[in-house]
Amino acid sequence: MLTAALLGVSTSYFGGIGVFSLPHLWSDCFHKKKCGKKKRVRVYMDGCFDLMHYGHANALRQAKALGDELVVGVVSDEEIIANKGPPVLSMEERLALVSGLKWVDEVIANAPYAITEQFMNRLFNEHKIDYIIHGDDPCLLPDGTDAYALAKKVGRYKQIKRTEGVSSTDIVGRILSSMEDTKACEDHNNASLPRDPLRAIQSKDAHLSQFLPTSRRIVQFSNCKGPGPNARVVYIDGAFDLFHAGHVEILKKARQLGDFLLVGIYTDQIVSEHRGSYHPIMHLHERSLSVLACRYVDEVIIGAPWEVTKDMITTFNICLVVHGTVSETNTPLTGQSDPYEVAKSMGIFQLLESPKSITTTSVAQRIIANHEAYMKRNAKKAVSEKKYYEQKMFVSGD
């Protein structure tokens, strides 16, 4: 097991959805606040934030570092359909995910895909935005023009570094690939011809994550504060694969039961054993960053065990172990004991009513049910992705 604290960091709770203090790691911004004389800089960043992942979170973290208050625009379903193809998540789900990020201060729903002059003036005058932020990868409209051309023209545009190794397009590709491989496996089971094991391995390897995890990235997602000596530590565990609105809501509910929320994230092996060989969709470090980015989470265990043991409860001074009523439907392995048996015997286990019925499987099934539309969307996006990597140059930033 590895916790963010072992790297000298842990995340601290900032309280409900509102305006949050900047982490003290950003000393320059902290100094501006301390002076109390300079105008607070408000920055704006927009996006579709469909299939929310740590790349989105890292973009918003970088955007927040360029100012004091971060306002995020969530593009409407209609605008996404017109410019990119059908979204996987609803506006309500995407708003819950964005609002649940620790760096976000305000959210604007149904933002336009392109920064028009009318909307830009609204940002400057109504929302008091100082700068509009976007990544170093180009964002082009269907006619080939730059979606941020106007902001650049008036000198109110700032650029951040794109997070490599993940994209919503990549995640959709992983899900569609697992669907194809599962179907191939089923066809093999009903056929007399042997399946080529090398081909199966190559198929899976072709869609492995390209993310290269570093300790520095974990530090950036954390805030260097552990639980107080008398803190009520609440523990919740899970795979947290394809981090979604249901995860945000159950973490929020769990956090309200104590002073410090510790989240255990299962290893890839554990998830695979319980959900099948093509799971998890996101690997351990990807899932850990997504959970760390949530404002309700104080600390994570990177590679938590399946069973909550007495030693683990003592080590982390856990006062309450909780689990949601909604989870993946896969049945436990034959002969396996209840993972919460010890906590139940100690009288510190509580079952939480899950606020939402959404699961990782239900999100994946949306994509599989409309796989033709998403394959078309991915093929279109793949062209621009290829062009980006062919012209890619080093961009300073983090």
Question: Tens of pLDDT along 33-64?
Answer: 455 578 899 999 999 999 899 999 999 999 99
Structural contact between residues 4 and 308, judged by C-beta atoms closer than 8 angstroms: no
Are 176 and 368 in contact by the 8 Å Cβ rule? The answer is: yes
Q: Which two tokens stand for residue 240?
A: 């947290």
Q: For 66-102, give one letter per residue: b (16+ CB within 10 A) or e.
A: bbbbbbbbbbbbebbeebbbebbbebebbbbbbbbbb
Describe the strand order of the beta sheet including 131-135 as a list of residue ranges. Answer: 106-111, 69-75, 42-47, 131-135, 157-160
Pairing of strands 2-3, 299-304: antiparallel
Pick from 164, 40, 44: nearest CA to 98: 44
pLDDT value of position 171: 87
* pLDDT for 180: 60
pLDDT of residue 357: 94
Per-residue pLDDT tens digits for 335-359: 678 999 999 999 999 999 999 999 9
pLDDT digits (tens, 9 = 90+) for 224-281: 789 998 999 999 999 999 999 999 999 999 999 999 999 999 999 999 999 888 899 9
Which comes out higher in pLDDT, residue 225 or 10? 225
pLDDT of residue 36: 56
What single DSSP character describes residue 131? E
pLDDT at 388 over 60: no
- Residue 17 pLDDT greater than 80, yes or no: no
How would residue 71 be classed by pLDDT, with cut points 50, 70 and 90? Answer: very high
CB 307 within 8 A of CB 268: no
Q: Which tops the pLDDT comparison, 330 or 342?
A: 342
What does pLDDT average to over the chain?
Answer: 82
Which range, 69-78, 163-172, 330-339, has the best average confidence (pLDDT)? 69-78
Q: Which helix (H) or strand (E) holds 83?
A: helix 77-83
Q: What is the pTM of this model?
A: 0.82
- pLDDT for 107-158, tens place per residue? 999 999 989 999 999 999 999 999 999 988 777 777 878 889 999 999 999 9
Length of the chain: 398
CB 239 within 8 A of CB 277: no
The region of weakest confidence among 147-156, 166-175, 194-203 is 194-203
Q: Mapping DSSP to helix (H, G, I), strand (E, B) and coil, where does residue 304 land?
A: strand
Please report, rounded to a whole number, the percentage of residues in the chain having pLDDT higher than 90.
Answer: 57
pLDDT for 100 beyond 70:
yes
CA 68/CA 30 separation, integer angstroms: 9
**What's the rounded mean pLDDT across residues 154-169?**
86
Confidence of residue 19 (pLDDT cuts 50, 70, 90): very low
Neighbours of 203 (CB within 10 A): 16
